[in-house]
Structure 1
Amino acid sequence: MNKTWGIVGLGWLGSELATKLKKLGDNSWGTRSNVFNFQTDQFPETFCDVLFLNTPPLPQMSPEVYVQKIYKAARAKIIFISSTSVYGASEGLITESSMVAPQTESARWLVDVELLLRQKFNEDLTIVRAGGLIGGERHPVFHLSRKKEVTTGKHLVNLIHRSDLIGICLSASKASNIPLVNAVAPFHPKKEEYYNQWATQLNVPKPIYTGGTESNRQIDSEILPLLYPHWICPKLDFL
């Protein structure tokens, strides 16, 4: 049975999701930031079976107001795109069972919104904590190649391709009782090795790595082996 999706945030990720849904025969409507202001505009009350919330953190807007606007209008399965930044600087293996430790204002805002959404929507909610994103024309090496000093070369990569993030969200929309999933590819080389390979491939300057300490921070998932076993880009080796 075809579904209707509401996509709040038809940007780099949301627009690609809409394209995928069309190919699958599903319907969608959405909002764009240039015409919809989450803080001042009324939340859309258009029907949808799945509501895809893909707004950037809005720390200038209280989490309570943000969630209340959604609660007044939404009567659907909700997929909220959060971030692995909520784990802060935690080391070692990080899964959905790990404690959050947000260190930035944006990460703290996400943690508060996650909690409030759980309270309001319970079983109708899946929180997707996405790692760093690649795909299309987007890759962290473009930013890093312009920096004069990178101190995280000995840290592990915790990224995901846009196509796999969309696939995870599609799988979550069909599943029941998936409250939380870490969306990160199962490939964790050291950043220096990985980004140098991509710099060569994309013909951009290699990042300049200076000093820095080792880090064993690796974000994985206890949920994905069953929810999403067939990856599109598990080794993060194409855009």
Structure 2
Amino acid sequence: MKKTQISILGCGWLGLALAKNFIAQHYKVKGSTTSQDKVATLQEAGIQPYVFTLGTTNDATLFADFLANSDVVVINFPPKRVADIVNMYQEQIRAILPFIKAEQKVVFVSSTSVYQNTNDWVSEELENHPEKESGKAVFAAENLLRSTLQNRLTILRFAGLFGYDRVPGRFLANKKELSNGNAPVNMIHQDDCIGLIMTVIKRKAWGEIINGCSDVHPLRKRFYVLAAKKLGLTPPEFKKEDSVSFKKVSNIKSKMLLHYTYKRPNPLVFVM
């Protein structure tokens, strides 16, 4: 019986952990990195490594080999913080698209930054109007992939990432006069990112857009103050405000469609 093979485009904080989980379940994994220094790390994990940077590397043979014979391609790299972020990210996606075969399925790791603040719940059905350039870049990439891959693509929109060596206490420590202290935060643990990606593939849930977010949405002020204190850092200070601007990401579709139960449903557990 043929082993399922996965190509993971971007073996960083999430991609490397994802690859290790696939390998533990007897998948074959090809993984990309932009750094030659990371090749040994990927090899030690059992990943077949490829080194390239989309938008810079121009090697059709390398791209074709990276994707060859894989059943699923996971596109998992964020847009670079550059001036022309929206166009550059689309160009990077366009560089790999011609090498994805008609029979291959694709998971795109997106972000809830595609949603504008509504001061209410946001779900996958909302008409998107991203407010930040990074959100605009990710949404443009989503649309590019959807127009090309259609029902072979599933988009997973993840909330703020945390877990293990990605510790939220460092994000806002020592900062002062921060706004939106009484706004709910949207977070997702690395374990649930991996769980959702693997569930999409196992359940063959293609042609979907699905949010990934913890069940509990603690207030921003409480969460980041506790997170800093737990690390022994100076907690952030927030303004006293009468109004807030926020969105509250719904994870109902991930539970209903995928029958997924969140392993880390309450981010507060990790900062108290």
Say yes or no: TM over 0.5: yes
Comparing 121-130 with 211-220, which one deviates more in the overlay? 211-220
Q: Distance in 1 between matches of 2:21 and 2:206?
A: 24
Comparing 210-219 with 189-198, which one deviates more in the overlay? 210-219
Aligned to 2:270: 238
Structure 1 residue 98 displacement after superposition = 1.0
Matches of residues 222-233 of structure 1 in structure 2 within 5 Å? Answer: 222-226=252-256, 227-233=258-264
Aligned to 2:99: 73
Aligned residues: 239
From the CA coordinates, give the structure whose radius of gyration is larger: 2
Q: Distance in 1 between matches of 2:55 and 2:255?
A: 37
Aligned to 2:181: 153
Q: Secondary structure at the match of 1:13?
A: helix
Aligned to 1:103: 131
Structure 1 residue 40 displacement after superposition = 2.1
Q: Which runs of 5+ in 1 are unaligned?
A: none
2:158 paired with 1:130: yes
Over aligned residue pairs, what C-alpha RMSD do you find?
2.0
Distance 1:219 1:60, change over 3 A: closer
Q: TM-score, normalised by structure 2?
A: 0.81
Aligned to 1:210: 239
Structure 1 residue 63 displacement after superposition = 5.6
Q: Paired residue for 1:220, among 246, 250, 256?
A: 250
Q: Distance in 1 between matches of 2:21 and 2:223?
A: 29
Matches of residues 1-239 of structure 1 in structure 2 within 5 Å? Answer: 2-34=3-35, 35-41=51-57, 42=59, 44-46=63-65, 47=68, 48-58=70-80, 59=85, 61-62=87-88, 65-75=91-101, 76-174=104-202, 175-212=204-241, 213-215=243-245, 217-226=247-256, 227-236=258-267, 237-238=269-270
CA contact (8 A) 2:121 2:247 kept: yes
CA contact (8 A) 2:105 2:153 kept: yes
CA contact (8 A) 2:175 2:236 kept: yes
Q: Distance in 2 between matches of 1:160 and 1:176?
A: 20
CA contact (8 A) 1:123 1:176 kept: no
Q: TM-score, normalised by structure 1?
A: 0.91
Q: Distance in 2 between matches of 1:36 and 1:200?
A: 40
Q: Distance in 2 between matches of 1:222 and 1:125?
A: 20
Distance 1:228 1:153, change over 3 A: farther
CA contact (8 A) 1:132 1:160 kept: yes
Distance 1:60 1:198, change over 3 A: closer
